[in-house]
A and B are shown apart, each in its own frame.
Chain A
């Protein structure tokens, strides 16, 4: 999903770069509000977590495997502002140090994955969380749906950009059908992995899951009397 150099024309690349710069500016301010002076080390380690989990290969079938993209997962775990920063930094490092994603397409990649991927995931997550019963375990299905929707939406975003400024005369419907089709399948895998990962964290450290905070705050203290053996 990393767009390389020369896929989109110059005006589209510049346009998405402007969007990316504005979004990262907002995220810098928002993350500082969430984490104050803890922002740098924590967002750095979260970026590294996203980067490292992309190295875990999930076997699919016949020797193929896929990996997590992590936009929605990061949004649920640390909040959308910090997640945008983390994904942005991951994309910059991948573009410059791994040649993955073009350097002139960095704005496009940040817009698609760091902004659309994260914020659509977060938006769907909060909507679902509002509907479901107010229990911390309900964070898991909400996160899964967030991931499920965010991946094809980012692919749709790419199709729209390709229709606006793609360097090829391919009809929008063809690109959109293929891209969204493939990414619905990827999104299902992403949803499953996101759900499993969030479930394992909610079980042990629910206080670290940003998306579970409003639910944790509603929890009442219960005192259980233990029976000594």
Chain B
């Protein structure tokens, strides 16, 4: 559903946000988003505070705002879903111009949009400032099962290789006059996917043999263990800290 996924999301930089260890950023992200999700939908001011917090983190990352904003299109399908809610929800209605909209539906749509958008923005701050391999190391530090970490490590490591292979296959098709314009293109595109599977699987087998030749016994060595200083925890923790305080205030009021 929706557009394809670009994979060059990381924006090279040397800001404070870039230099935070990945596991610190992941814990920060999760805590912040949980606080946002639990905030009562009618506490509008609290959402203002959350938005301010994300924007502070975004500006601190010194990633151009335009680059950041363009990546928010991933949210589109569910924005459409949220915008339809006031039309189909039950409950008392209000007239907005010529339309009769459900009042609880409007409140729900607002909450869905606000929470979803803040979640996407917060994830984007992490995604634009963290290299994929550091995310894998961060998840390992956070005790994700080792096999899952290894699978993700291989996926991230060969990402450019396999997407490059796909790009070469596209260039090869197009240099033979192929244009994907209608259903008639589907068999060619599907056999591209088939060829990609065979090549990926065979690459997996070769990688495995190469690893065995280097003494692989089911575990990958950790060469650069991630560490975080208390100061880094304090800097990163300020944002979810304020978000949690906002949540508590919103619940109490």
Q: Which residues does A use to contact B, with CB under 8 Å? A: 1-7, 10, 13, 24-25, 28, 31-32, 37-49, 51-61, 65-68, 77-78, 85-86, 88-90, 92-100, 102-104, 167-171, 174, 178, 186, 192-193, 195-201, 204-205, 208
CA distance A226 to B75 in the complex (A): 60
Query: Is there contact, CB below 8 Å, between A10 and B151?
Result: no
CA distance A102 to B116 in the complex (A): 7
One of B56-64, B182-190, B222-230, B237-245 at the interface: B182-190
Chain A to chain B contacts (Cβ below 8 Å), 28 pairs? A2-B1, A6-B115, A7-B112, A10-B37, A10-B38, A41-B204, A44-B153, A45-B155, A45-B201, A46-B200, A48-B159, A51-B159, A52-B166, A56-B4, A59-B180, A89-B148, A93-B152, A98-B74, A99-B9, A99-B71, A99-B127, A103-B29, A103-B33, A104-B33, A168-B85, A168-B108, A186-B1, A196-B190
Which residues from chain A contact B207 at a C-beta distance below 8 Å? 41, 45
State how many angstroms separate the Cβ of A121 from the closest Cβ of chain B: 16
Which residues from chain B contact A85 at a C-beta distance below 8 Å? 147-148, 151
CA distance A64 to B47 in the complex (A): 35
State how many angstroms separate the Cβ of B238 from the closest Cβ of chain A: 19
Query: Which of A99, A103, A200 meets B190, CB within 8 Å?
Result: A200
Most buried by A among B26, B119, B185, B211: B119
Q: With contacts A59-B180, A170-B108 known, what are 8 further pairs, Cβ within 8 A?
A: A45-B162, A58-B189, A65-B180, A85-B147, A89-B148, A93-B155, A168-B112, A204-B198
Which residues from chain A contact B157 at a C-beta distance below 8 Å? 44
State how many angstroms separate the Cβ of A1 from the closest Cβ of chain B: 5
CA distance A78 to B201 in the complex (A): 9
Query: Is there contact, CB below 8 Å, between A41 and B33?
Result: no
CA distance A42 to B242 in the complex (A): 43
CA distance A86 to B190 in the complex (A): 20
Which residues from chain A contact B251 at a C-beta distance below 8 Å? none
Query: Is there contact, CB below 8 Å, between B187 and A54?
Result: no
Task: Classify the interface of chain B: helix, strand, loop or mixed.
Answer: helix
B205 at the interface (CB under 8 A from A): yes
Q: Which residue of A lies closest to B138 (CB)?
A: A96
In order of increasing CB-CB distance, the 8 nearest A-B pairs are A6-B115, A44-B154, A5-B119, A196-B190, A168-B108, A200-B194, A45-B204, A40-B150
Query: Is there contact, CB below 8 Å, between B150 and A44?
Result: yes
B34 at the interface (CB under 8 A from A): yes
Q: Which residue of A lies closest to B25 (CB)?
A: A96
Which residues from chain B contact A43 at a C-beta distance below 8 Å? 151, 154
Q: Which residue of B lies closest to A1 (CB)?
A: B1
Query: Is there contact, CB below 8 Å, between A201 and B197?
Result: yes
Q: Write the B188-219 contact mask toward A (1 if CB under 8 angstroms, else 0).
A: 01111111111011011101100100001110
Q: Which residue of B lies closest to A55 (CB)?
A: B4
Q: Which residue of B lies closest to A24 (CB)?
A: B148
B15 at the interface (CB under 8 A from A): no
